Amino acid sequence: MSTDVTAKTPAPAPSGGGGAASGDGLLQLMLGGMRRNMRQYGMLMALGLIVVLFAVWTDGDLLLPRNVSNLVLQNSYILILAIGMMLVIIAGHIDLSVGSLTAFIGAMAAVLMVENHLSWPLAVVLCLAIGAVAGAVQGFFIAYLGIPSFIVTLAGMLLFRGLTEIFLKGQTLGPFPKDLQKVANGFLPEVGPDTNYHNLTLLLGLALIVFVVFQEVRDRKRQQEFALDVPPTTLFLLKLVALVAAVLVVTLLLASYKGAPVVLLILGVLVVGFGYLMRNAIIGRHIYAIGGNLPAAKLSGVKDKKVTFLVFLNMGMLAALAGLVFAARFNAASPKAGLNFELEAIAASFIGGASMSGGVGTVLGAIIGGLVLGVLNNGMNLVGVGTDWQQVIKGAVLLAAVGFDVWNKRKVGS
């Protein structure tokens, strides 16, 4: 082990005229770190480039505070679905039913609240429970009966779409209670003195910056304690500065409009919670294990059937949450709601670093992938790109992301 660590330590620069050599060594070290961590940094850099491209192309309209706020609201339900889908893909499965389940939950919410006048908090709890049961049923067929997830969720996609049509009788049903609409469209309340900014959003942004720095530094120290490969210090600091700058810019943009949307707070809780679960909890490690190498996971004592069952139960609950957010945002339940949502969530996961073979991916990666698609959609709408070319471009981006994953595996394996 000591020999390996010594081999990775760069040789000191020679004295005298070694400045150029030292600079070349630093450059090589940074490039080597970039290659080793390309999966982690590639989509972050791609997202940054896409934002800069459309910011220039739209003469700054993309980064107007109002548009940034709308960007969050318009993509919230896809980001919620992407978190659950990332876990499903890491476990080595796929879920084609989430779009239809989203529509079905919206229909159930409308029936409960609009037709039967049930209080919206109770209706929300019932809808989340229905989503969990739907996911659990699919998870049972997949985990305990051994039916491939593609088949089970394809059947679920047809079933939930049909049930949506039945419950809504082919019609749009609304409106929803005002308080529920505020969850999907509302903003955090203003507190404190008048500063020309939304004070609560500024405080949340500052807390997020502290959390990001603490998390990154702690993860790096933990990797070093276990003698794992870590990026060079310079590259790590560059990443830290970029993350802090990104959070600061978004915070100021949101705070200069109406503040942070309520749904952004919900997303933040989901990202932190599921991020911790996948990085630190036993079940998170088990999800990675069954997706990476199922036979080895079984030999290690992992209860693969239970884990798979819980993954799909969780996906059903998140699909229900997305359905409630979507229905509340548009203030109506529609039989055509949720069309292609499953494809958007799957695309966001793969663009965000998930692997076709399972066992690879992060919750933050799913968010980054969803934001790549969201910024592409928003930017292309602002510059007047037709929906036909939008589909072509998004398909090309997905193909490039998966192609990069295959290429990266071959490079690592060679």
Q: Say yes or no: 375 and 352 in one domain.
A: yes
333 bridge partner residues:
173
pLDDT of residue 43: 77
Q: Say yes or no: 102 and 163 in one domain.
A: yes
Question: Residue 118 is which amino acid?
Answer: L
Q: What is the pLDDT of residues 309-329, one digit of tens each?
A: 999 999 999 999 999 999 999
CA dihedral (204, 314, 133, 92) in degrees, to 10, reads: 160
CA dihedral (397, 315, 278, 402) in degrees, to 10, reads: -20
Q: Say yes or no: 116 and 148 in one domain.
A: yes
- How far is the CA of 112 from the CAs of 105, 175, 331, in angstroms? 10, 12, 14
Instruction: Confirm whether 24 is domain-assigned.
Output: no
Per-position b or e across 133-163, b if 16+ CB within 10 A of its CB: ebbbbbbbbbbeeeeebeebbeebbebbbeb
Q: Say yes or no: 222 and 117 in one domain.
A: no
CB 308 within 8 A of CB 146: no
Instruction: Confirm whether 2 is domain-assigned.
Output: no
Instruction: Confirm whether 22 is domain-assigned.
Output: no
Please give the span between the terminal C-alpha atoms of the chain, in angstroms, as a whole number.
22
DSSP 61: G
Q: What are phi and psi of 386, to 5 degrees?
A: -65, 155
Domain containing 237: what range? 187-260
Interatomic CA distance for residues 350 and 398, integer angstroms: 7
Interatomic CA distance for residues 52 and 305, integer angstroms: 45
Q: Say yes or no: 223 and 142 in one domain.
A: no
Interatomic CA distance for residues 293 and 299, integer angstroms: 10
Q: Which two three-digit tokens encode residue 302?
A: 């992992």
Interatomic CA distance for residues 212 and 246, integer angstroms: 11
Chain centroid to Cα 239, Å, comes to: 19
pLDDT of residue 325: 96
What stretch of H or E contains 402?
helix 387-413
Cβ count within 10 A of residue 330: 18
Angle of CA points 397, 49, 203, to nearest 5°: 115
Q: Say yes or no: 178 and 297 in one domain.
A: yes
Interatomic CA distance for residues 344 and 96, integer angstroms: 11
Q: Say yes or no: 109 and 141 in one domain.
A: yes
Instruction: Confirm whether 265 is domain-assigned.
Output: no
The residues near 259 (Cβ < 8 Å, ≥ 6 apart) are 187, 188, 190, 198, 200, 201
Instruction: Confirm whether 215 is domain-assigned.
Output: yes
Round the CA-based radius of gyration of the chain to a whole number and report it. Answer: 23
CB 185 within 8 A of CB 329: yes
pLDDT of residue 37: 54
Q: Say yes or no: 388 and 295 in one domain.
A: yes
Q: Say yes or no: 306 and 362 in one domain.
A: yes
Q: Which two three-digit tokens encode residue 66?
A: 């109002």
How many domains are there within the chain? Answer: 2
Instruction: Confirm whether 351 is domain-assigned.
Output: yes
Interatomic CA distance for residues 204 and 190, integer angstroms: 12
Among residues 83, 74, 130, 78, which one has the least CA distance to residue 99? Answer: 78
pTM of the model: 0.88
Instruction: Confirm whether 267 is domain-assigned.
Output: no
Instruction: Confirm whether 272 is domain-assigned.
Output: no
Q: What is the pLDDT of residues 324-380, one digit of tens each?
A: 999 999 999 999 999 999 999 999 999 888 888 889 899 989 999 999 999 999 999
**pLDDT < 70: residue spans in the chain:** 1-41, 405, 408-414
Cβ count within 10 A of residue 59: 9
Q: Say yes or no: 176 and 310 in one domain.
A: yes
Q: Say yes or no: 78 and 153 in one domain.
A: yes
CB 53 within 8 A of CB 45: no
Q: Say yes or no: 325 and 393 in one domain.
A: yes
